[in-house]
A and B are shown apart, each in its own frame.
Chain A
């Protein structure tokens, strides 16, 4: 059977199987891990085929996997697997503490496979309307991963999530319809296929394309967390369980960004790169500074990381705005670097919340003595987030500076440096508050987690450092091919 067919059926089937499983935690935990390994293996084998230059497409090319999609599919596979494994530990703690019941755990595990299925579908769609439907479906599939409990805060976060994302994505659907009508009859072949639209972008009406891009930016930008429509993100990421926040921030935001990148490619090749770069620079700068402003004021560790997600989506937008081969390379690399980093950051907040019983950093302190490994993992996440050399995010941020310098965009370099400096100061002050000094509040769990419980976090930390100091040929190949496909060179 074709690998793409398997990717589109197996996660969904696993989700359905989980729904009908008996309410025994050990069984659910083991199944969740085994199923996650199988799904990730399938996803990575499809990525491997793309690395070997195989063309993958089914259903009359409606579903396909190109190098651009392969980058994001590998994030679903790697980040998704590690977070799902951590989710079994986190849910065990929640169950033991009585915060959640076994039925809710089962639904959580089942929905996480449906969520993986919708994200994979959004990456694999060549038909832009299917892509929109899949991205909207990711919201629907993840609402109850966020609103796991039925209390006020949980319900409020679920409400804000679905309402804001649905409104935003409605604009993206209008962009889809307008792009189709502008292309229908003017290009060879099906006018809803991304590959056809990209190949014939130059034949499309420039006024329509500009409007399409603005609508797509509002739509996919809302889902990706770009300002000013980012407001759902801090509430949702802060309130959902730690593994949900890791999945949303580590993968989902990137899937929405992929949607925007595909529109970026079509419009850039239709009306020229100047237009899309200018729009993305404005969006990226706005996002960076708004998030930096709110970041300084945060004391809730999860809210702080949520504003970080907004900031780093701003970095990706800024990279797309600086443009050129290096700028695009950096933006796409940043998607992967931020995915691993943010998954580690949010998973470590799961450990931290277990230790202190709170997410308020002013009531923490002394973590390095209570749980040294968690403190180090938390530190690695922070170091990568602020762009310390040797960690993954440094690579992409450095490349954005390089792209701007090559393009003699010195003003942009200055703006970018100021924004990153604010984030740097805000982050380290929070990190020191939580990690060193005296314990300011209560310690609920006064010891380090077990190695097996910390294993997914250690793996993520290794990935962050590895991507910071090493160049992986297969991944670089995918990035290079993606940049070529966007620039049509």
Chain B
């Protein structure tokens, strides 16, 4: 019973941190919120391992800790330092409206999705399944609503966390190479997007992607 509560509490905390990643204006704080969220993801993996005895999740927790709690945040922090960035560019609809839109729509979509997922999930933990869909949608809305390229990279990381949690709940028994393949893609995506972000900054003088209007029609 205690484990169930821990998993639910951590799932809610993950949702809160996804809102923080989305909404915090200072890049450093946003990246730190992402690191905390991934640490919470690792805790969920461990809690599920203790609850259900699934050894796969122990390995998942270790790889997620090294790659997503340590490597990715440190790499993004380095990028922020290199480009001397502090505060993100104005998002679509402004700093107040965009989190409200993302939050409300993500809650609504997650409400629909988790009801389907719960039927087929290997673990029948309702709140984490809901949280996984919510985090995924927050990531998607991050891409749509935030203009900063770095915030969009963080949004990619967000929805990747949502998918990772879904994978652990719904398909942990898949071959371990599946998780490795998906994680490898995620790392390369972050690295490549970071290189593009540097080029973008060099070309446009900022990371504001709303300035990218040279190709239209």
Q: Which residues of A contact B (CB under 8 A)?
A: 62, 127, 129-130, 132-133, 136-137, 140, 143-144, 147, 150-153, 155-160, 162-163, 166-167, 170, 173-174, 177-178, 180-182, 184, 190, 192, 205, 207-208, 211, 234-235, 238-239, 294, 297-298, 300, 303
Alpha-carbon gap, A234 to B140, bound state (A):
22
Extra contacts besides A159-B209, A160-B212, A184-B120 (5): CB < 8 Å:
A129-B178, A129-B181, A133-B185, A170-B159, A170-B160
Contacts of A152 in B (CB 8 A): 203-204, 212, 214
Residue pair B171, A180 in contact (C-beta under 8 Å): yes
Contacts of B189 in A (CB 8 A): 136, 140, 162, 166
Residue pair B171, A151 in contact (C-beta under 8 Å): no
Contacts of B121 in A (CB 8 A): 181
CB-CB nearest in chain A for B167 = A177
Give chain A's interface secondary structure class. helix
CB-CB nearest in chain A for B213 = A156
User: Which one of A133, A136, A157 has the greatest number of beta carbons of chain B within 10 Å?
Assistant: A133
How near does chain B come to A189, taking the closest CB pair, in angstroms? 13
CB-CB nearest in chain A for B214 = A153
Residue pair B212, A159 in contact (C-beta under 8 Å): yes
**Which residues between 158 and 207 of chain B lie within 8 Å of chain A, taking CB atoms?**
159-160, 163, 166-167, 170-171, 173-175, 177-178, 181-182, 184-185, 188-189, 192-193, 196, 199-200, 202-204
Alpha-carbon gap, A159 to B200, bound state (A):
8
How near does chain A come to B40, taking the closest CB pair, in angstroms? 20
How near does chain A come to B3, taking the closest CB pair, in angstroms? 22
Residue pair B120, A181 in contact (C-beta under 8 Å): yes
How near does chain A come to B160, taking the closest CB pair, in angstroms? 8
Contacts of A147 in B (CB 8 A): 196, 199
Residue pair A127, B215 in contact (C-beta under 8 Å): no
Query: Quick check: is B122 within 8 A (CB to CB) of the other chain?
Result: yes
7 interchain pairs, CB-CB under 8 A = A130-B181, A152-B212, A155-B196, A156-B212, A159-B200, A159-B212, A294-B217
**Which residues between 126 and 155 of chain B lie within 8 Å of chain A, taking CB atoms?**
136, 139-140, 143, 149, 152
Q: Do A207 and B116 contact each other (CB < 8 Å), given the known contacts A143-B196, A170-B159, A184-B171?
A: yes
Alpha-carbon gap, A210 to B193, bound state (A):
33
Residue pair B119, A173 in contact (C-beta under 8 Å): no
Residue pair B149, A303 in contact (C-beta under 8 Å): no
Contacts of A162 in B (CB 8 A): 189, 192-193, 196
Contacts of A297 in B (CB 8 A): 217
How near does chain A come to B123, taking the closest CB pair, in angstroms? 10
Q: Do A192 and B200 contact each other (CB < 8 Å), given the known contacts A153-B215, A160-B215, A182-B120?
A: no
Contacts of A150 in B (CB 8 A): 199, 202-203
**Which residues between 34 and 84 of chain B lie within 8 Å of chain A, taking CB atoms?**
none
How near does chain B come to A368, taking the closest CB pair, in angstroms? 27
How near does chain B come to A100, taking the closest CB pair, in angstroms? 15
Residue pair A174, B166 in contact (C-beta under 8 Å): yes
Partner among B149, B163, B173, B185 whose Cβ is within 8 Å of the Cβ of A174: B163
How near does chain B come to A126, taking the closest CB pair, in angstroms? 12
Contacts of B149 in A (CB 8 A): 159
CB-CB nearest in chain B for A150 = B199
Alpha-carbon gap, A352 to B137, bound state (A):
44
CB-CB nearest in chain B for A161 = B196
Contacts of A294 in B (CB 8 A): 217
Interface residues on B, range: 35 or more
Q: Do A303 and B182 contact each other (CB < 8 Å), given the known contacts A162-B193, A177-B171, A178-B117?
A: no
Q: Which residues of B contact A (CB under 8 A)?
A: 116-117, 119-122, 136, 139-140, 143, 149, 152, 156, 159-160, 163, 166-167, 170-171, 173-175, 177-178, 181-182, 184-185, 188-189, 192-193, 196, 199-200, 202-204, 209, 212, 214-215, 217
Residue pair B182, A129 in contact (C-beta under 8 Å): yes
How near does chain B come to A174, taking the closest CB pair, in angstroms? 7
CB-CB nearest in chain A for B215 = A235
Residue pair B200, A298 in contact (C-beta under 8 Å): no
Contacts of A151 in B (CB 8 A): 203
Residue pair B215, A238 in contact (C-beta under 8 Å): yes
Contacts of A144 in B (CB 8 A): 192
Alpha-carbon gap, A163 to B192, bound state (A):
11
Residue pair A205, B120 in contact (C-beta under 8 Å): yes
How near does chain B come to A53, taking the closest CB pair, in angstroms? 29
Q: Do A163 and B171 contact each other (CB < 8 Å), given the known contacts A129-B182, A174-B163, A181-B121?
A: no
Contacts of A238 in B (CB 8 A): 215
How near does chain A come to B63, taking the closest CB pair, in angstroms? 15
How near does chain A come to B26, taking the closest CB pair, in angstroms? 22
How near does chain B come to A212, taking the closest CB pair, in angstroms? 10
Contacts of A127 in B (CB 8 A): 175, 178
Contacts of B120 in A (CB 8 A): 178, 181-182, 184, 205, 208
How near does chain B come to A24, taking the closest CB pair, in angstroms? 26
Contacts of A170 in B (CB 8 A): 136, 139-140, 159-160, 163
Q: Do A239 and B116 contact each other (CB < 8 Å), given the known contacts A147-B196, A151-B203, A159-B209?
A: no
Contacts of A129 in B (CB 8 A): 174-175, 178, 181-182
Contacts of B215 in A (CB 8 A): 153, 156-157, 160, 234-235, 238-239
Residue pair B217, A173 in contact (C-beta under 8 Å): no
Contacts of A157 in B (CB 8 A): 215
Contacts of A184 in B (CB 8 A): 120, 122, 171, 173
Residue pair B143, A167 in contact (C-beta under 8 Å): yes
Contacts of B182 in A (CB 8 A): 129, 132-133, 173
Contacts of A177 in B (CB 8 A): 163, 166-167, 170-171
CB-CB nearest in chain B for A238 = B215
